[in-house]
Every structure is written in structure tokens, then in C-alpha cells.
Amino acid sequence: MLNARCLGVNAAGHLTIGGRDTVELAQTYGTPLYVMDENEIRGNCRSYRQSIDKYYGGRGLVAYASKAFNCKAICRIVMEEGLGLDVVSGGELYTAMSVGFPADRIIFHGNNKSPDELAMAISYGVGRIVVDNIVELHLISQLAKSKKETAHIMLRIKPGIDAHTHNFVRTGQIDSKFGFALETGEAMEAVKTALAAPGVELRGLHCHIGSQIFDVEPFELAAQVMADFMADIRDQTGVALAELNLGGGFGICYTSDNDPPAYDSYMERVSQAVKKTCQQRKMETPFILIEPGRSIVGPAGITLYRVGAVKEIPGVRTYVSVDGGMTDNPRYILYQSQYTFTVASRAADAKVQGVTVAGKCCESGDLLGENVPLQEVHPGDILAVLATGAYNYSMASNYNRSCRPPVVLVNGQAARVIIRRETYEDLIRNDEE
Ligand SMILES: *Cc1c(COP(=O)(O)O)cnc(C)c1O
């Protein structure tokens, strides 16, 4: 199948998630339906925490990047697991605040936070506002000063590592909208400005080199470049910054072609890189932060659809149409992202054909996959798409005035709706007469 701990096949040959029969879940809650397994999410949180304990003496914080999937229930789970939380907007911050997420464990990202969003973060006492650019640095300084508060900040640095090309190059990332460039001297200038700015306290540096990355090497290199830069800062300013945030981007399995490293191999090698550089530069090792998003919730989620029309165009292809599409999963139309599909009631059977899975939107490009292997399939069957826990619900839209599906969280024999299905009434709620 796919190496997610939460998926299986029962005696009836039905796909299960967290031991629950997905055909029954679809009957109970209707389709389309997102289902997530709570134990998988918690297990992933623990794997990351344990990796920091094991390889870095526990001197770090795992912050869940909530843009992957943010709602009250997930914020609570992450809070209970002792993780921090990344937010990238006032809305994500508001959700975290609504469950009383500890402010000192929140990290606020974004390349263009509004004055209102920044004021909200400063008032709530957000532990680390990651400053993207010099305009924002001055704005935060002014806001904090006028409120007679101190804003705790980090600076986002472009370490010059492009993790998306396979043979990554050290200068490839200067053209990014995020952060201060290292090699132009911009980053060092920003550090000096931040150290002198009233109302702000510079806790450390941040970098994030990309997403769905399978190699550990670019992370090691980024860690080394960033630790070196911290030593340069100490040499030039006399200030030893306390914290280094190495971002997220750890890859997961979407198809059997993907082969991500084990959860703790990142920390094993990255902590070695940090320790080695610190030793060479005679510097104390910093407190470390990592920010996994996709790898915490992605493998824990699936989407269930009901198949409608099956349209075979002889010699061309077979379209299998489902009752959702780009509105609940825009990742194929956006990035041609590959997924694994299975007929929930025939999960044990061999995949005997290649089909195109189409959504129901008025848009030819509204597909979820092309030439994907699938079992025999008939109208009325439940079709499951695996590893949809990240960047699916959070990217969903109401295009064609579609109602967003609910999210059900399973935990052993218990299951509960953590986000309810939208109704037509919800769709017209903001319409003026
Ligand atoms: C998106 C993002 C992450 C999480 O990335 P994943 O690929 O989901 O792990 C972490 N940090 C920052 C700054 C991000 O923008």
C-alpha cells in the first residue's frame, strides 16, 4: 500500500484508517470526506520531539507548521504534545489564540504581515515573530515601542541553498521573496539594525529551504551555513545569538516512488552539522527549532469520494469522476502532485488499469491524477486518495459554490467531526441582498 502506519486492509478487503473501515466512514459521514488518524499525528509529533532529545539533548523546539492543516482540534493536539506552532497569518494566529495556545511557543512567519497582524502578535506576546524584511523590522520596532512592549523576533535568512534542484547550488536561492540574503551582506546589515532597534529583542535566526525534500544533505548544509553566520555575527558584533530555527520541508510518501528518510535521521545529521560548526568556530551550540508541517499531518489523512460516472473513451483514456476535486485538493492542478488511489471496498485487489480521476468542477483541468493505477471500479464505489492530510483542507476553496467537506478524526473506535461540512447556507452567509 503506502508506508503510513495508520492504513490497512481488513478481512472484508476494505481500506482502513486507524483500524476503522473507510467504506463505513463514508456511509456514516457522507462524501467527499477527509479522515485523519489522531494516533498517527501524535506519533509523528513524538518522533520529532524524541529526535531532538536523542541527538540534541532536548535543547530544541518542534513547531508544527500549521499552514499544512490548521483548525482548533489540531492546535489542541499539537499543544498537548508539547510542540510549538507556526502561523503565517492573522487567521492562523486567531485560531491558535482561540484554544489558548501558549504564546511563547508560537512562531509568526510571512513576507508581508500587516500592521494589524503584527499588533495582534505583539499584544498576544508571540514568542518569535520571524522578520522577513527591513520594512517589517522598522514597523515592528515602532509598534512595540508605542505599546511599550518588547517584540521577540528572529530574522529570516536566505542561506543560498536551493534544495529543489537535485544538485543543489549554494547561490540558487537569492531570487526568493522570503528573507534577507546572506551573500550580499544584506543579512548582516539586518542583524546590526535589529540589535540596535528599540522595542525588539533578537532571539536568533531562521531559514527554510523548501518543501517535500528527500535529501538530508541540503538541510545539513543549511545548518552549517547558518551556524557559521552566527559565528560571523558574534565576531562582528560581540553578540552570541541564542537560537537557530532550521525550518521544515521534510518529505513524505505520496506514491511508492517516494522514499523519505526516517523521521529522526534529519535531526541526527543536522545536529551533527551544527555541533561540528560550533566546535570549529568555538561557539556555544544554539537552541534549535524545526518546523515540520506536511510530515506531521500528511500521512495521517485520506480523502474519500464517491465515484459517479465512469467514462471510457476507447483508445484514449478512462475518466473516473468523483464528487469532489480541485475544490478539496487543488494540488494536482497546481503542481501535478502525485497521489496513490485505491478503491476502498477492493483495497486488497490488484490494480488492473490506469485511469484519470476527474473532479466535478466546471474546468477541464479539474483532475486529481492521470494514468493512475486502480482496481476495477464502478459507479457508487468509494475511492480513497491517500496522504491528503497536509495542504488539502487548508487549500480547499468554494469554487463553483462547492461546500467544503468535513474532517473526521478517528482514534481507535472513537471518531469525531473536527470541522463540519459546509452547508449551502454557509455559502450565502456573507452575500448582501
Ligand atoms: C511551509 C513552511 C514550513 C513547513 O513546511 P513543510 O514542507 O510542510 O514541512 C516550515 N517553515 C516555514 C517558514 C514554512 O513556510
Amino acid 180: pLDDT:
95
Report the pLDDT averaged over residues 245-271: 91
Amino acid 173: pLDDT:
67
Phi, psi of 78 (to 5 degrees): -65, -40
CA nearest neighbour of 226 among 252, 251, 213, 244 = 244
Q: What distance in angstroms lies between residue 348's CA and the mean position of ligand 1's atoms?
A: 35
Q: In this model, does residue 401 exceed pLDDT 80?
A: yes
Amino acid 2: pLDDT:
60
Q: What distance in angstroms lies between residue 50's CA and the mean position of ligand 1's atoms?
A: 20
User: Beta strand pairing status for 151-158 and 128-131?
Assistant: parallel
Q: In this model, does residue 325 exceed pLDDT 50?
A: yes
Q: Which residues contact 191 (CB under 8 A, 6 or more apart)?
A: 155, 202, 233, 237
Range of weakest confidence among 32-36, 82-86, 266-270, 400-404: 266-270
Amino acid 161: pLDDT:
77
What does the alpha-carbon distance between residue 403 and residue 372 come to, in Å, rounded to a whole number?
A: 26
**Element holding 27 (H helix, E strand):** helix 22-29
What does the alpha-carbon distance between residue 93 and residue 430 come to, in Å, rounded to a whole number?
A: 22
Residue in 109, 129, 130, 131 to alter for ligand 1 test, most ligand atoms within 8 A of Cβ: 109
**Ligand 1 binding residues, C-beta < 6 A:** 65, 67-68, 86, 109, 208, 211, 247-250, 291-295
Q: In this model, does residue 169 exceed pLDDT 60?
A: no
Q: How would residue 230 be classed by pLDDT, with cut points 50, 70 and 90? A: very high
Q: Which long-range contacts (CB under 8 A, 24 or more apart) does 350-358 make?
A: 350/375, 351/375, 352/376, 353/318, 354/317, 355/317, 355/318, 355/319, 355/320, 356/317, 356/318, 356/319, 356/320, 357/319, 357/320, 357/321, 357/322, 357/383, 357/385, 358/319, 358/320, 358/321, 358/322, 358/325
**From the alpha carbon of 212, which atom of ligand 1 is closest?**
7
Neighbours of 411 (CB within 10 A): 17
Report the pLDDT averaged over residues 176-194: 93
CA nearest neighbour of 301 among 212, 402, 416, 408 = 408
pLDDT digits (tens, 9 = 90+) for 285-319: 999 999 999 999 999 999 999 999 999 999 999 99
Q: In this model, does residue 60 exceed pLDDT 80?
A: yes
Question: Is cis: bond before 159, omega within 30 of 0?
Answer: no
Grid coordinates standing for 406?
Answer: 468535513
CA nearest neighbour of 288 among 202, 170, 203 = 203
Q: In this model, does residue 164 exceed pLDDT 70?
A: no
Amino acid 211: pLDDT:
87
Q: Which residues are catalytic?
A: 362
Amino acid 336: pLDDT:
93
More confident residue, 262 or 227: 227
Q: How would residue 263 be classed by pLDDT, with cut points 50, 70 and 90? A: confident
Sign of CA dihedral 3, 391, 213, 202: negative
pLDDT digits (tens, 9 = 90+) for 332-355: 999 899 999 999 999 999 999 999
CATH code reported for the domain at 38-293: 3.20.20.10
Q: How would residue 102 be classed by pLDDT, with cut points 50, 70 and 90? A: very high
Grid coordinates standing for 6?
Answer: 495508520
**From the alpha carbon of 247, which atom of ligand 1 is closest?**
11
Are 207 and 157 in contact by the 8 Å Cβ rule? The answer is yes
Q: What distance in angstroms lies between residue 248's CA and the mean position of ligand 1's atoms?
A: 5
The CATH number of domain 7-30+300-428, selected from 3.40.50.300, 3.40.720.10, 2.40.37.10, 3.30.70.380: 2.40.37.10
Amino acid 1: pLDDT:
59
75 CB burial (10 A radius; 0-12, 13-18, 19+): buried
Residue in 107, 291, 294 to alter for ligand 1 test, most ligand atoms within 8 A of Cβ: 291
Are 365 and 282 in contact by the 8 Å Cβ rule? The answer is no
Amino acid 172: pLDDT:
47
Q: Ligand 1 atom 10: the closest Cα is on which residue? A: 248
What does the alpha-carbon distance between residue 70 and residue 8 come to, in Å, rounded to a whole number?
A: 26
Q: In this model, does residue 28 exceed pLDDT 80?
A: yes
Q: Quick one: CA torsion of 67, 69, 75, 76, rounded to 10 degrees?
A: -170
| Helix intervals (H) in 238-346 | 263-280, 294-297, 331-335
Q: Ligand 1 atom 3: the closest Cα is on which residue? A: 248
Q: How would residue 167 be classed by pLDDT, with cut points 50, 70 and 90? A: very low
Amino acid 171: pLDDT:
44
pLDDT digits (tens, 9 = 90+) for 88-97: 999 999 999 9
Q: Is 411 helix (H, G, I), strand (E, B) or coil?
A: strand
What single letter denotes the amino acid at residue 48?
Y
Grid coordinates standing for 93?
Answer: 494566529
Amino acid 262: pLDDT:
83
pLDDT digits (tens, 9 = 90+) for 341-395: 999 999 999 999 999 999 999 999 999 999 999 999 999 999 999 999 999 999 9
Residue in 208, 209, 226, 394 to alter for ligand 1 test, most ligand atoms within 8 A of Cβ: 208
Grid coordinates standing for 205?
Answer: 535566526
Amino acid 68: pLDDT:
98
**Average pLDDT in the chain:** 95
Q: Structural domain boundaries of the chain? A: 7-30+300-428, 38-293
Report the pLDDT averaged over residues 231-236: 98
Q: What distance in angstroms lies between residue 208's CA and the mean position of ligand 1's atoms?
A: 7
Beta partners for 369? 357
Name the CA radius of gyration of the chain, rounded.
23
* % of the chain exceeding 90 in pLDDT: 89
**From the alpha carbon of 291, which atom of ligand 1 is closest?**
10
Grid coordinates standing for 416?
Answer: 469525531
Q: Is 81 helix (H, G, I), strand (E, B) or coil?
A: coil
